[in-house]
Amino acid sequence: MLKILMTRFRQGCRTMAFPKRKPPVLPARYRGRPLVAGLEEIDLGKMTFVPDSGIRHSNDFRMATCRRQDLVLQGETYALARAVNRKIVKLFGRSLKLRQVSAGGCNACEADTNVLNTPVFDLSRFGIRFVASPRHADGVLVTGPVTRNMKEALLKTYEAVPDPKIVIAVGACAISGGIFSRSPEVSRGLDTIIPVDLYIPGCPPHPMTILDGFLRLLGRLKKE
């Protein structure tokens, strides 16, 4: 036990200082927001970030938006997510409980969302937590392409969350159907079923992208 305590003492605090300090430097291999120079447009809501896409990427993890059309890049400017209305910020700005729904996902987006609960990110320090019951939640976080078999369960979960509530779509599958978008067994995007307040693109999105989106939606980050 003494060795364990000494080891923890040497390690110090493992939680990143973001957003009080500059965000951590991500690996050079990390593929963030695409560079659109020489391209007409790129729809981040449909991108699966496959290795052989031929598209150049920046190291910028900030990609969450509040409107679906803002995910379509046509230049260097990009409309990042912003705080929702004052009533929502006042209610949930310091305490937000989310019910996560995996609507047919491959578990990649779910895994990167769960990573936020580790000591490195420590999501709870922002007052954001995942809960087991939608009746205890302030919003719904959805991953996966919303398969036909999951649509009813998703709608029941959404209806069980008391108003006002927040809906977050995480990953290309939840936003547009992803690689399954042409299948009749999945939706063409979460917003075709329920209204969405925050879109977090990626396949899967990096935990920093998810965290950045959360904080911007709640007015906890500046607009840049």
Q: How far apart are CA 5 and CA 153, in angstroms?
A: 45
- Which of these ranges, 27-41, 67-81, 127-141, 195-209, has the smallest mean pLDDT? 27-41
Q: How far apart are CA 46 and CA 26, in angstroms?
A: 23
- For 86-217, CATH number? 3.40.50.12280
Non-local (6+) Cβ contacts of 208 within 8 A are: 18, 23, 24, 26, 61
Neighbours of 213 (CB within 10 A): 26
Backbone angles phi, psi at 162, to 5 degrees: -65, 150
Supply the pTM of this predicted model. Answer: 0.90
Q: How far apart are CA 105 and CA 190, in angstroms?
A: 13
pLDDT digits (tens, 9 = 90+) for 26-50: 888 888 888 876 667 888 898 886 6
Do 130 and 117 form a contact (C-beta atoms < 8 A)? yes
Neighbours of 82 (CB within 10 A): 15
